[in-house]
Amino acid sequence: MAARAAWRAVTRTWTGRTAVAAVCLHQYDTHFRYERFNRNVRTVAAAVATLVDYKYTLVQHPEMLDELHERVAKRWYDLCCRNAGLYIKLGQQIATMNHVLPAPYLFYFSKLNDAAPAVGFDIVEGIIKRDYGASSVSDVYDEFERDPIASASIAQVHKARLKDGTQVAVKVQKPEIAVQLPWDLLCFRLLLFSFEKIFDLPMYWSCDSVCDVLVQETDFRCEARNAELCAEDFRDDPRVYVPRVYGGQTTRRVMAMEFVDARSIADLQGMRGEGFSVGEVASIMVDAFSHQIFVSGFVHADPHPGNILVRRRPGGGPRDPQIVLLDHGCYVSCSEEFRREYCRLWRAMVLTDEAELLRICRAWGVGDSELFASMQLLKPYTPGRGGVHLNATTRADVLRLQLEAFERVRGLLSDSQRVPRELILLGRNLNIVRANNKGMGS
Protein backbone atom coordinates (compact mmCIF):
# COMPACT_ATOMS: atom_id res chain seq x y z
CA MET A 1 0.00 0.00 0.00
CA ALA A 2 2.79 2.39 0.89
CA ALA A 3 4.48 1.70 -2.46
CA ARG A 4 1.25 2.40 -4.36
CA ALA A 5 0.72 5.61 -2.45
CA ALA A 6 4.24 6.72 -3.19
CA TRP A 7 3.74 5.90 -6.89
CA ARG A 8 0.52 7.92 -7.04
CA ALA A 9 2.24 10.83 -5.32
CA VAL A 10 5.09 10.79 -7.82
CA THR A 11 2.90 10.53 -10.92
CA ARG A 12 0.34 13.11 -9.76
CA THR A 13 2.42 16.05 -11.05
CA TRP A 14 3.91 16.74 -14.47
CA THR A 15 7.35 16.93 -12.89
CA GLY A 16 6.96 13.43 -11.48
CA ARG A 17 5.59 12.07 -14.73
CA THR A 18 8.47 13.58 -16.66
CA ALA A 19 10.99 12.08 -14.24
CA VAL A 20 9.39 8.62 -14.54
CA ALA A 21 9.33 8.88 -18.33
CA ALA A 22 12.99 9.92 -18.37
CA VAL A 23 13.97 6.95 -16.21
CA CYS A 24 11.99 4.55 -18.42
CA LEU A 25 13.54 6.02 -21.56
CA HIS A 26 17.01 5.73 -20.06
CA GLN A 27 16.48 2.06 -19.12
CA TYR A 28 14.98 1.17 -22.51
CA ASP A 29 17.76 2.94 -24.36
CA THR A 30 20.44 1.31 -22.22
CA HIS A 31 19.18 -2.27 -22.39
CA PHE A 32 17.51 -2.45 -25.81
CA ARG A 33 18.93 0.30 -28.06
CA TYR A 34 22.68 0.19 -27.22
CA GLU A 35 22.50 3.58 -25.46
CA ARG A 36 21.70 5.32 -28.72
CA PHE A 37 20.04 8.26 -26.95
CA ASN A 38 22.20 8.33 -23.81
CA ARG A 39 25.39 8.47 -25.87
CA ASN A 40 24.20 11.59 -27.62
CA VAL A 41 23.16 13.25 -24.36
CA ARG A 42 26.71 12.70 -23.12
CA THR A 43 28.09 14.17 -26.36
CA VAL A 44 25.92 17.28 -26.13
CA ALA A 45 26.92 17.73 -22.49
CA ALA A 46 30.62 17.47 -23.44
CA ALA A 47 30.14 20.00 -26.24
CA VAL A 48 28.41 22.49 -23.93
CA ALA A 49 31.10 22.08 -21.26
CA THR A 50 33.78 22.62 -23.88
CA LEU A 51 32.07 25.76 -25.13
CA VAL A 52 31.94 27.14 -21.59
CA ASP A 53 35.62 26.31 -21.03
CA TYR A 54 36.91 28.06 -24.13
CA LYS A 55 34.46 30.88 -24.61
CA TYR A 56 34.00 31.99 -21.00
CA THR A 57 36.58 30.48 -18.63
CA LEU A 58 39.44 31.22 -21.00
CA VAL A 59 38.37 34.84 -21.47
CA GLN A 60 38.40 35.40 -17.71
CA HIS A 61 41.55 33.33 -17.06
CA PRO A 62 43.80 33.33 -20.15
CA GLU A 63 46.65 31.93 -18.04
CA MET A 64 44.65 28.66 -17.84
CA LEU A 65 44.99 27.88 -21.56
CA ASP A 66 47.23 24.82 -21.16
CA GLU A 67 45.10 23.51 -18.31
CA LEU A 68 41.93 23.94 -20.38
CA HIS A 69 43.45 22.10 -23.36
CA GLU A 70 44.31 19.22 -21.05
CA ARG A 71 40.88 19.17 -19.40
CA VAL A 72 38.89 19.37 -22.63
CA ALA A 73 41.02 16.80 -24.44
CA LYS A 74 40.59 14.31 -21.60
CA ARG A 75 36.85 15.03 -21.49
CA TRP A 76 36.43 14.08 -25.16
CA TYR A 77 38.80 11.15 -24.83
CA ASP A 78 36.77 9.76 -21.92
CA LEU A 79 33.59 10.30 -23.94
CA CYS A 80 34.96 8.34 -26.90
CA CYS A 81 36.06 5.49 -24.63
CA ARG A 82 32.68 5.31 -22.88
CA ASN A 83 30.58 5.60 -26.03
CA ALA A 84 32.91 3.24 -27.95
CA GLY A 85 31.79 2.07 -31.42
CA LEU A 86 32.21 4.72 -34.07
CA TYR A 87 33.34 7.22 -31.46
CA ILE A 88 36.63 5.30 -31.32
CA LYS A 89 37.09 5.71 -35.06
CA LEU A 90 36.01 9.34 -35.06
CA GLY A 91 38.45 10.06 -32.24
CA GLN A 92 41.20 8.39 -34.24
CA GLN A 93 40.34 10.71 -37.11
CA ILE A 94 40.77 13.73 -34.81
CA ALA A 95 44.18 12.39 -33.74
CA THR A 96 45.42 12.82 -37.32
CA MET A 97 44.81 16.60 -37.13
CA ASN A 98 48.13 17.02 -35.34
CA HIS A 99 49.07 20.15 -37.32
CA VAL A 100 46.27 22.18 -35.83
CA LEU A 101 44.98 20.87 -32.51
CA PRO A 102 46.90 21.43 -29.26
CA ALA A 103 49.27 18.71 -28.01
CA PRO A 104 46.94 17.21 -25.34
CA TYR A 105 44.44 16.27 -28.06
CA LEU A 106 47.08 14.28 -29.90
CA PHE A 107 48.25 12.69 -26.63
CA TYR A 108 44.80 11.45 -25.62
CA PHE A 109 43.20 10.65 -28.96
CA SER A 110 46.21 8.67 -30.17
CA LYS A 111 45.45 6.19 -27.35
CA LEU A 112 42.18 5.26 -29.04
CA ASN A 113 43.99 2.86 -31.39
CA ASP A 114 43.93 0.32 -28.53
CA ALA A 115 40.51 1.07 -27.03
CA ALA A 116 38.06 -1.18 -28.92
CA PRO A 117 36.38 -3.83 -26.70
CA ALA A 118 35.19 -7.14 -28.17
CA VAL A 119 31.67 -8.62 -27.94
CA GLY A 120 30.90 -12.14 -26.69
CA PHE A 121 30.79 -15.24 -28.85
CA ASP A 122 27.04 -15.70 -28.37
CA ILE A 123 26.49 -12.33 -30.08
CA VAL A 124 28.89 -13.23 -32.90
CA GLU A 125 27.14 -16.55 -33.37
CA GLY A 126 23.75 -14.83 -33.59
CA ILE A 127 24.98 -12.47 -36.32
CA ILE A 128 26.44 -15.32 -38.38
CA LYS A 129 23.26 -17.38 -38.04
CA ARG A 130 21.07 -14.47 -39.14
CA ASP A 131 23.26 -13.36 -42.04
CA TYR A 132 23.81 -16.86 -43.43
CA GLY A 133 20.38 -18.24 -42.53
CA ALA A 134 22.09 -21.05 -40.63
CA SER A 135 21.01 -22.85 -37.47
CA SER A 136 24.53 -22.75 -36.01
CA VAL A 137 28.06 -21.59 -36.80
CA SER A 138 29.03 -25.20 -37.52
CA ASP A 139 26.67 -25.17 -40.51
CA VAL A 140 28.96 -22.60 -42.16
CA TYR A 141 32.42 -23.29 -40.73
CA ASP A 142 34.15 -26.53 -39.90
CA GLU A 143 36.00 -24.76 -37.07
CA PHE A 144 35.46 -21.34 -35.51
CA GLU A 145 37.54 -19.94 -32.65
CA ARG A 146 35.39 -18.38 -29.94
CA ASP A 147 37.92 -15.72 -28.91
CA PRO A 148 38.70 -12.97 -31.45
CA ILE A 149 42.26 -12.49 -32.66
CA ALA A 150 41.62 -8.76 -33.15
CA SER A 151 38.97 -6.18 -32.22
CA ALA A 152 38.45 -2.76 -33.81
CA SER A 153 35.86 -0.01 -33.52
CA ILE A 154 33.39 -1.50 -36.00
CA ALA A 155 34.17 -5.22 -36.06
CA GLN A 156 36.24 -8.04 -34.63
CA VAL A 157 38.07 -10.91 -36.34
CA HIS A 158 37.91 -14.63 -35.58
CA LYS A 159 40.06 -17.41 -36.95
CA ALA A 160 38.03 -20.16 -38.64
CA ARG A 161 38.14 -23.00 -41.17
CA LEU A 162 35.76 -23.45 -44.10
CA LYS A 163 34.11 -26.77 -44.88
CA ASP A 164 36.74 -27.45 -47.56
CA GLY A 165 39.53 -27.05 -44.99
CA THR A 166 40.59 -23.53 -46.00
CA GLN A 167 41.79 -21.46 -43.07
CA VAL A 168 40.16 -18.02 -43.02
CA ALA A 169 39.85 -14.87 -40.93
CA VAL A 170 36.19 -13.99 -40.36
CA LYS A 171 35.36 -10.34 -39.78
CA VAL A 172 32.09 -9.83 -37.88
CA GLN A 173 30.46 -6.45 -37.39
CA LYS A 174 29.45 -5.53 -33.86
CA PRO A 175 25.63 -5.48 -33.53
CA GLU A 176 25.33 -2.01 -32.02
CA ILE A 177 26.94 -0.31 -35.01
CA ALA A 178 23.86 -0.33 -37.27
CA VAL A 179 21.66 1.06 -34.46
CA GLN A 180 24.11 3.72 -33.35
CA LEU A 181 25.43 4.83 -36.75
CA PRO A 182 22.87 7.54 -37.71
CA TRP A 183 23.03 9.12 -34.25
CA ASP A 184 26.80 8.84 -34.01
CA LEU A 185 27.24 10.61 -37.33
CA LEU A 186 24.88 13.33 -36.18
CA CYS A 187 27.03 13.83 -33.10
CA PHE A 188 30.19 13.76 -35.20
CA ARG A 189 28.76 16.71 -37.10
CA LEU A 190 28.11 18.42 -33.76
CA LEU A 191 31.68 17.68 -32.64
CA LEU A 192 33.26 19.15 -35.77
CA PHE A 193 30.88 22.12 -35.75
CA SER A 194 31.77 22.79 -32.10
CA PHE A 195 35.50 22.53 -32.73
CA GLU A 196 35.21 24.84 -35.73
CA LYS A 197 33.38 27.48 -33.69
CA ILE A 198 35.54 27.09 -30.59
CA PHE A 199 38.89 27.16 -32.37
CA ASP A 200 37.69 29.22 -35.35
CA LEU A 201 39.14 26.58 -37.69
CA PRO A 202 37.96 25.37 -41.11
CA MET A 203 36.88 21.82 -40.21
CA TYR A 204 33.17 21.31 -40.87
CA TRP A 205 33.58 21.37 -44.65
CA SER A 206 35.03 17.84 -44.47
CA CYS A 207 32.09 16.40 -42.57
CA ASP A 208 29.96 15.00 -45.41
CA SER A 209 32.87 13.16 -47.01
CA VAL A 210 33.97 11.58 -43.73
CA CYS A 211 30.41 10.49 -42.92
CA ASP A 212 29.97 8.93 -46.36
CA VAL A 213 33.14 6.88 -45.89
CA LEU A 214 32.06 5.72 -42.44
CA VAL A 215 28.73 4.52 -43.84
CA GLN A 216 30.57 2.55 -46.52
CA GLU A 217 32.85 1.00 -43.91
CA THR A 218 29.85 -0.63 -42.24
CA ASP A 219 29.01 -2.56 -45.45
CA PHE A 220 31.54 -5.36 -45.80
CA ARG A 221 30.47 -5.94 -49.40
CA CYS A 222 32.09 -2.59 -50.22
CA GLU A 223 35.24 -3.66 -48.40
CA ALA A 224 35.32 -6.92 -50.37
CA ARG A 225 35.16 -5.00 -53.67
CA ASN A 226 37.90 -2.62 -52.51
CA ALA A 227 40.13 -5.57 -51.57
CA GLU A 228 39.67 -7.13 -54.99
CA LEU A 229 40.53 -3.85 -56.75
CA CYS A 230 43.58 -3.35 -54.53
CA ALA A 231 44.76 -6.91 -55.24
CA GLU A 232 44.44 -6.26 -58.96
CA ASP A 233 46.39 -3.01 -58.57
CA PHE A 234 49.37 -4.85 -57.02
CA ARG A 235 49.10 -8.00 -59.10
CA ASP A 236 52.51 -7.43 -60.71
CA ASP A 237 54.31 -6.36 -57.51
CA PRO A 238 55.39 -9.44 -55.49
CA ARG A 239 56.41 -7.20 -52.58
CA VAL A 240 52.74 -6.40 -51.78
CA TYR A 241 49.95 -8.89 -51.10
CA VAL A 242 46.21 -8.55 -50.48
CA PRO A 243 44.48 -11.59 -48.91
CA ARG A 244 41.77 -13.20 -50.99
CA VAL A 245 38.18 -12.42 -50.03
CA TYR A 246 35.67 -15.26 -50.28
CA GLY A 247 32.71 -13.63 -52.00
CA GLY A 248 30.34 -16.47 -51.23
CA GLN A 249 31.03 -15.95 -47.54
CA THR A 250 30.57 -12.14 -47.54
CA THR A 251 27.44 -10.31 -46.37
CA ARG A 252 26.83 -6.78 -45.17
CA ARG A 253 28.04 -7.68 -41.66
CA VAL A 254 30.25 -10.77 -42.13
CA MET A 255 33.28 -11.25 -44.36
CA ALA A 256 35.61 -14.23 -44.72
CA MET A 257 39.09 -13.66 -46.10
CA GLU A 258 42.24 -15.67 -46.49
CA PHE A 259 44.11 -16.07 -43.20
CA VAL A 260 47.70 -14.85 -43.47
CA ASP A 261 50.28 -15.70 -40.82
CA ALA A 262 52.34 -12.52 -40.51
CA ARG A 263 53.37 -9.89 -37.98
CA SER A 264 52.59 -6.18 -37.69
CA ILE A 265 55.09 -3.68 -39.04
CA ALA A 266 55.12 -2.26 -35.51
CA ASP A 267 56.87 -5.43 -34.30
CA LEU A 268 60.40 -4.25 -35.08
CA GLN A 269 62.10 -6.84 -32.91
CA GLY A 270 60.14 -9.65 -34.53
CA MET A 271 60.99 -8.40 -38.03
CA ARG A 272 64.68 -8.24 -37.20
CA GLY A 273 64.47 -11.68 -35.63
CA GLU A 274 63.25 -13.07 -38.96
CA GLY A 275 66.14 -11.41 -40.75
CA PHE A 276 64.17 -8.62 -42.39
CA SER A 277 65.59 -5.15 -42.90
CA VAL A 278 63.20 -2.71 -41.20
CA GLY A 279 64.34 -0.03 -43.62
CA GLU A 280 63.47 -2.22 -46.60
CA VAL A 281 60.01 -2.96 -45.18
CA ALA A 282 59.44 0.78 -44.68
CA SER A 283 60.54 1.45 -48.27
CA ILE A 284 58.09 -1.15 -49.61
CA MET A 285 55.29 0.43 -47.57
CA VAL A 286 56.09 3.93 -48.86
CA ASP A 287 56.41 2.64 -52.44
CA ALA A 288 53.05 0.87 -52.21
CA PHE A 289 51.10 3.89 -51.01
CA SER A 290 52.97 6.22 -53.35
CA HIS A 291 51.83 3.99 -56.20
CA GLN A 292 48.24 4.23 -55.00
CA ILE A 293 48.35 8.01 -54.60
CA PHE A 294 50.29 9.04 -57.70
CA VAL A 295 49.64 6.19 -60.18
CA SER A 296 46.39 4.33 -59.60
CA GLY A 297 44.42 6.94 -57.63
CA PHE A 298 42.73 4.21 -55.56
CA VAL A 299 44.06 4.79 -52.05
CA HIS A 300 43.85 2.90 -48.75
CA ALA A 301 42.97 5.58 -46.19
CA ASP A 302 43.52 3.65 -42.94
CA PRO A 303 47.04 2.16 -43.20
CA HIS A 304 47.85 2.01 -39.48
CA PRO A 305 50.29 -0.70 -38.27
CA GLY A 306 47.49 -3.15 -37.45
CA ASN A 307 46.47 -3.10 -41.11
CA ILE A 308 49.96 -3.69 -42.53
CA LEU A 309 51.64 -7.02 -41.85
CA VAL A 310 54.98 -8.39 -43.02
CA ARG A 311 56.03 -11.94 -43.87
CA ARG A 312 58.58 -13.76 -46.01
CA ARG A 313 57.87 -13.28 -49.67
CA PRO A 314 56.58 -16.58 -51.17
CA GLY A 315 59.09 -17.74 -53.75
CA GLY A 316 61.68 -15.21 -52.57
CA GLY A 317 64.78 -15.50 -50.43
CA PRO A 318 64.67 -16.07 -46.64
CA ARG A 319 65.18 -12.36 -46.00
CA ASP A 320 62.92 -11.00 -48.73
CA PRO A 321 59.91 -9.28 -47.06
CA GLN A 322 56.40 -8.93 -48.37
CA ILE A 323 53.84 -6.56 -46.84
CA VAL A 324 50.24 -7.70 -46.48
CA LEU A 325 47.49 -5.05 -46.64
CA LEU A 326 44.37 -5.59 -44.52
CA ASP A 327 41.10 -3.75 -43.78
CA HIS A 328 40.00 -2.25 -47.08
CA GLY A 329 36.84 -0.58 -45.85
CA CYS A 330 38.16 3.00 -45.94
CA TYR A 331 39.27 4.03 -49.45
CA VAL A 332 39.34 7.14 -51.58
CA SER A 333 38.90 6.85 -55.32
CA CYS A 334 40.50 9.86 -57.00
CA SER A 335 39.32 11.17 -60.33
CA GLU A 336 41.92 11.14 -63.09
CA GLU A 337 41.83 14.94 -63.25
CA PHE A 338 42.50 15.26 -59.52
CA ARG A 339 45.24 12.59 -59.56
CA ARG A 340 47.17 14.43 -62.26
CA GLU A 341 46.71 17.79 -60.52
CA TYR A 342 47.86 16.26 -57.23
CA CYS A 343 51.02 15.02 -58.95
CA ARG A 344 51.60 18.55 -60.26
CA LEU A 345 51.08 19.88 -56.74
CA TRP A 346 53.87 17.72 -55.34
CA ARG A 347 56.17 18.54 -58.22
CA ALA A 348 55.55 22.24 -57.59
CA MET A 349 56.25 21.87 -53.87
CA VAL A 350 59.45 19.86 -54.37
CA LEU A 351 60.78 22.26 -57.00
CA THR A 352 59.35 25.31 -55.18
CA ASP A 353 57.51 26.34 -58.34
CA GLU A 354 55.57 29.14 -56.68
CA ALA A 355 53.51 30.09 -59.73
CA GLU A 356 52.27 26.51 -60.25
CA LEU A 357 51.61 26.03 -56.54
CA LEU A 358 49.59 29.24 -56.41
CA ARG A 359 47.61 28.25 -59.53
CA ILE A 360 46.61 24.89 -58.06
CA CYS A 361 45.74 26.36 -54.67
CA ARG A 362 43.55 29.05 -56.20
CA ALA A 363 41.73 26.42 -58.27
CA TRP A 364 41.14 24.39 -55.11
CA GLY A 365 39.86 27.29 -52.99
CA VAL A 366 43.01 27.42 -50.84
CA GLY A 367 43.81 30.95 -49.67
CA ASP A 368 47.24 30.38 -48.07
CA SER A 369 49.40 28.38 -50.48
CA GLU A 370 52.52 28.44 -48.30
CA LEU A 371 50.73 27.07 -45.23
CA PHE A 372 48.96 24.48 -47.39
CA ALA A 373 52.32 23.32 -48.77
CA SER A 374 53.77 23.18 -45.24
CA MET A 375 50.89 21.01 -44.08
CA GLN A 376 51.36 18.67 -47.04
CA LEU A 377 55.10 18.41 -46.49
CA LEU A 378 54.88 18.33 -42.69
CA LYS A 379 57.70 20.86 -42.53
CA PRO A 380 57.82 24.61 -43.10
CA TYR A 381 57.67 25.41 -46.80
CA THR A 382 60.08 28.19 -47.74
CA PRO A 383 59.78 29.59 -51.28
CA GLY A 384 62.86 30.69 -53.17
CA ARG A 385 65.24 28.05 -51.84
CA GLY A 386 65.64 26.35 -55.24
CA GLY A 387 64.29 23.02 -53.97
CA VAL A 388 62.42 21.80 -50.93
CA HIS A 389 64.32 20.77 -47.82
CA LEU A 390 64.83 17.00 -48.07
CA ASN A 391 66.61 16.70 -44.72
CA ALA A 392 64.97 14.98 -41.77
CA THR A 393 62.33 17.09 -40.07
CA THR A 394 63.66 18.53 -36.81
CA ARG A 395 61.76 19.37 -33.63
CA ALA A 396 62.30 23.04 -34.49
CA ASP A 397 60.58 22.42 -37.85
CA VAL A 398 57.62 20.83 -36.11
CA LEU A 399 57.28 23.67 -33.60
CA ARG A 400 57.53 26.27 -36.33
CA LEU A 401 54.90 24.47 -38.39
CA GLN A 402 52.52 24.27 -35.42
CA LEU A 403 52.99 27.97 -34.67
CA GLU A 404 52.32 28.87 -38.30
CA ALA A 405 49.25 26.65 -38.33
CA PHE A 406 47.78 28.21 -35.19
CA GLU A 407 48.39 31.74 -36.49
CA ARG A 408 47.35 31.29 -40.12
CA VAL A 409 44.95 28.35 -40.36
CA ARG A 410 41.86 30.59 -40.23
CA GLY A 411 42.82 31.95 -43.64
CA LEU A 412 43.83 28.59 -45.09
CA LEU A 413 40.66 28.08 -47.12
CA SER A 414 39.20 30.88 -49.19
CA ASP A 415 36.35 28.76 -50.64
CA SER A 416 35.73 25.41 -48.94
CA GLN A 417 33.19 24.45 -51.62
CA ARG A 418 36.00 24.14 -54.19
CA VAL A 419 38.37 22.11 -52.00
CA PRO A 420 38.71 18.60 -53.50
CA ARG A 421 37.23 16.13 -51.02
CA GLU A 422 39.91 13.61 -51.97
CA LEU A 423 42.36 15.69 -49.92
CA ILE A 424 40.67 14.62 -46.67
CA LEU A 425 41.47 10.92 -46.91
CA LEU A 426 44.73 11.44 -48.79
CA GLY A 427 45.86 13.59 -45.87
CA ARG A 428 44.87 10.81 -43.49
CA ASN A 429 46.88 8.30 -45.50
CA LEU A 430 49.95 10.54 -45.58
CA ASN A 431 49.80 11.27 -41.85
CA ILE A 432 49.49 7.60 -40.90
CA VAL A 433 52.19 6.43 -43.33
CA ARG A 434 54.54 9.10 -42.00
CA ALA A 435 53.81 8.00 -38.45
CA ASN A 436 54.47 4.38 -39.44
CA ASN A 437 57.71 5.44 -41.08
CA LYS A 438 58.79 7.31 -37.97
CA GLY A 439 57.87 4.36 -35.78
CA MET A 440 60.11 2.16 -37.91
CA GLY A 441 63.09 4.38 -37.22
CA SER A 442 63.01 6.98 -40.01
Q: Does residue 199 contact residue 405 with C-beta atoms inside 8 Å? A: no
C-alpha to C-alpha distance for 417 and 15, rounded to whole angstroms: 47
**Residue 36, Cβ density class (10 Å: 0-12 exposed, 13-18 middle, ≥19 buried):** middle
Q: Are 409 and 371 in contact (CB under 8 A)?
A: yes
Q: Could you confirm whether 142 is annotated as catalytic?
A: no
Identify whether the C-beta of residue 371 lies closer than 8 Å to the C-beta of residue 404: yes
Extended beta strands in 290-360, E state: 298-300, 308-312, 321-325, 331-333
**Annotated catalytic residue within 131, 302, 327, 368:** 302
Which residue in 39, 41, 46 sits closest to 72, CA to CA? 46
Cα-Cα-Cα-Cα torsion 315, 319, 320, 323, nearest 10 degrees, comes to: 110
Three-state DSSP state, 101 = coil
Give φ, ψ of 345 to 5 degrees: -60, -50
Strands 141-144 and 150-151: unpaired
Q: Which of 86, 71, 105 is nearest to 40 (CA)?
A: 86
Nearest to 408 by CA among 354, 358, 364, 372: 372
Beta bridge partners of 258: 168
Q: Phi and psi dihedrals of 160, rounded to 5?
A: -150, 175
- Whole-angstrom distance, CA of residue 309 vs CA of residue 354: 39
| Residues designated as active site | 302
